[in-house]
């Protein structure tokens, strides 16, 4: 057990590092990402004042007794697939007990992303190692997230002393990055998001280019960095553990037009002799979308292409897809009992589809643990959202009880 004063100094260090990550991440984020996320990680909030006061708070200041008294989410779903959570380093302390009880695997929310990890050519592994060491200690396999993404990538990568880096230098740096990451975490990472969100959202265009924020595409002059990333990651993995799986990860995979493009990319890569094992559906979904049928169709179609499938970043926004397009965010706020009920029904519906397709799914990872720490409180604008299974005070929500089959 960690004593209280050691605990608090570790907490302060973790919070300090979190703010550094937050600041460096924010500096790397293009401002107008159209359809997905800002990776902002807010500092943890204090427990809400209406949290039950009868039970002693846990060492994190939150009362986890109700959450810990429930059957384990991970154990409940073990016959189907394992359940993961994406976390920041400070959460290994703040929700460490919840992670051990309810989750079977981990993803670093930001700590393994290139920008926060290597703001200069000298990388700092402290944040990523904190999570990897927690995973090692508790025997939780990890997803490596993500080797190549157009956001949160350090500017130095694309330049040398004279200006734009040459193709040769870019390729060598990419190789070094892939080897460094895959080797360092080879004992704990069983699958890598090798490339994240490289496909275009624009009609008639396959790859995201500079006009959609991809410095990778602009610097390499075309999409060859995707092939190189998979080749280097494979070579690095094979040197340690050939069973490590390499994924392409993206949002809107449930939309046929996006999926068609992803499949085209996979076919072209495979034709060129590149091994790509699977596709991650991020799963940033909402209470009203996408339909269960669309989720199932996506899983089946990817499997038919001999791809492994995982749900890599699951959360369920209480705002509708139309709320996004029409920008009427605040009007979509629901009263809390109705909201809880809708969220529960929706999670149960989603997991019915996932359970039915268990033989097609590698694992399911939530993008967060509790509503006090979710990117959806910050994107696309600052507002409260309620997308996870534990509320702001870390109390289990009806949605969790629904998934556990308790109500
Ligand atoms: C994308 C990225 C994640 C995360 C989320 C939301 O889905 O893959 O790493 O940044 O956006 O923050």
Confidence of residue 54 (pLDDT cuts 50, 70, 90): very low
Read off the tokens for 65: 């007794």
CA-proximal residue: ligand 1, atom 8 (nearest): 196
pLDDT of residue 43: 42
116: Cβ below 6 Å to ligand 1? no
Taking only Cα atoms into account, the Rg of the chain, rounded to an integer number of angstroms, comes to 20
Residue with the smallest CA separation from ligand 1 atom 4 is: 39
User: Looking at residues 358-369, what average pLDDT do you find?
Assistant: 98
Whether residue 33 has pLDDT greater than 60: no
Q: Which of 205, 179, 309 is nearest to 250 (CA)?
A: 309
Average pLDDT, the chain: 87
- Catalogue all structural domains in the chain, each as residue range(s) with its CATH number: 6-403 (3.20.20.80)
Which two three-digit tokens encode residue 363?
A: 């694992």
Q: Answer yes or no: is the C-beta of 114 below 6 A from any ligand 1 atom.
A: no
The pLDDT value recorded for residue 320 is 80
Over residues 135-163, the mean pLDDT reads: 98
Mean pLDDT of 25-48: 35
pLDDT in tens, 290-345: 999 999 999 999 999 999 999 999 999 988 877 665 455 555 566 678 889 999 99
pLDDT of residue 321: 75
Would you say the CB of residue 60 lies under 6 angstroms from ligand 1? no
Look up 257 and say whether it is catalytic. no
Supply the residue whose CA is at minimum distance from atom 5 of ligand 1: 37
Q: Ligand 1 centroid vs 162 CA: distance in angstroms? A: 33
Q: What is the pTM of this model?
A: 0.88
- Average pLDDT (361-376) is 98
Is there a contact between 269 and 329 (Cβ–Cβ < 8 Å)?
no
| Cβ neighbours of residue 35 closer than 8 Å, sequence gap 6 or more | 201, 251, 252
Residues 6 or more apart in contact with residue 54 via CB below 8 angstroms: none
| Peptide bond connecting 41 to the previous residue in cis, omega within 30 degrees of 0 | no
Known catalytic residue: 313? yes
Q: Name the token pair of 246.
A: 């390499």
Catalytic residue, chosen from 109, 197, 212, 223, is 197
* Mean pLDDT in residue range 219-226: 98
Pocket test for ligand 1, best of 21, 30, 39, 388 (most atoms within 8 A of CB): 39
Q: Specify the pLDDT at position 51.
A: 32
Instruction: Identify whether 146 is preceded by a cis peptide bond (ω within 30 of 0).
Output: yes
Phi, psi of 212 (to 5 degrees): -110, 25
Euclidean distance between CA atoms 133 and 112, whole angstroms: 13
pLDDT tens per residue, range 68-86:
999 999 999 999 999 999 9
> How far away, in angstroms, is 303 Cα from ligand 1 center?
24
Return the best residue to mutate from 35, 36, 247, 280 for the ligand 1 pocket (most ligand atoms within 8 A of CB).
36
Is the pLDDT higher at 37 or at 290?
290
Ligand 1 and 39: CB distance under 6 A: yes
Ligand 1 atom closest to the Cα of residue 197 is 8
**Looking at the predicted structure, is the pLDDT value of residue 395 above 70?**
yes
Q: What is the pLDDT of residue 16?
A: 40
Which pLDDT band, with edges at 50, 70 and 90, does 384 fall under? confident
Q: Relative to the CA of 39, which ligand 1 atom is closest?
A: 12
* Ligand 1 lined by 37 (C-beta under 6 Å): yes
- The band of 42, judged by pLDDT with boundaries at 50, 70 and 90, is very low
């Amino acid at each position: 057990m960690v004593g209280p004063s050691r605990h608090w100094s570790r907490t302060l260090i973790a919070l300090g590092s979190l703010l550094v990550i937050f600041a460096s991440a924010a500096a790397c984020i293009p401002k107008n990402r159209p359809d997905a996320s800002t990776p902002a990680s807010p500092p943890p909030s204090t427990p809400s004042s209406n949290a039950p006061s009868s039970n002693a708070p846990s060492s994190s200041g939150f009362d986890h007794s109700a959450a810990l008294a429930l059957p384990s989410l991970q154990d409940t779903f073990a016959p189907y697939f394992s359940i993961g959570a994406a976390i920041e380093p400070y959460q290994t302390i703040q929700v460490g007990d919840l992670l051990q009880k309810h989750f079977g695997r981990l993803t670093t929310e930001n700590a393994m992303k290139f920008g926060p990890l290597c703001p200069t050519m000298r990388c700092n592994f402290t944040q990523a190692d904190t999570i990897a060491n927690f995973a090692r200690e508790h025997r939780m396999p990890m997803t490596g997230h993500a080797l190549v993404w157009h956001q949160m990538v350090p500017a130095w990568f694309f330049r040398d002393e004279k200006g734009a880096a040459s193709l040769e230098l870019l390729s060598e740096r990419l190789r070094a990055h892939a080897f460094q990451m895959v080797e360092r975490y080879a004992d704990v990472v069983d699958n890598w998001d090798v490339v994240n969100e490289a496909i275009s959202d624009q009609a008639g265009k396959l790859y995201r280019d500079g006009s959609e924020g991809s410095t990778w595409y602009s610097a390499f002059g075309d999409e060859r960095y995707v092939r190189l990333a998979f080749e280097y990651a494979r070579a690095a993995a094979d040197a340690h553990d050939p069973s490590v799986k390499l994924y392409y990860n993206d949002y809107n995979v449930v939309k046929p037009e996006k999926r068609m493009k992803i499949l085209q990319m996979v076919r072209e890569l495979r034709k060129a002799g590149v091994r790509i094992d699977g596709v991650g559906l991020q799963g940033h979904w909402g209470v009203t979308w996408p339909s269960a049928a669309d989720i199932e169709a996506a899983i089946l179609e990817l499997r038919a292409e001999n791809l492994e499938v995982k749900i890599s970043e699951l959360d369920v926004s209480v705002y509708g897809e139309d709320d996004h397009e029409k920008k009427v965010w605040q009007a979509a706020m629901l009263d809390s009992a109705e909201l809880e009920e809708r969220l529960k029904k929706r999670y149960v519906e989603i997991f019915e589809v996932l359970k039915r397709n268990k033989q097609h799914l590698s694992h399911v990872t939530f993008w967060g643990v509790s509503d006090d720490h979710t990117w959806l409180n910050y994107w696309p604008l600052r507002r409260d959202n309620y997308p996870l299974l534990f509320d702001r005070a870390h109390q289990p929500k009806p949605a969790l009880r629904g998934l556990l089959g308790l109500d």
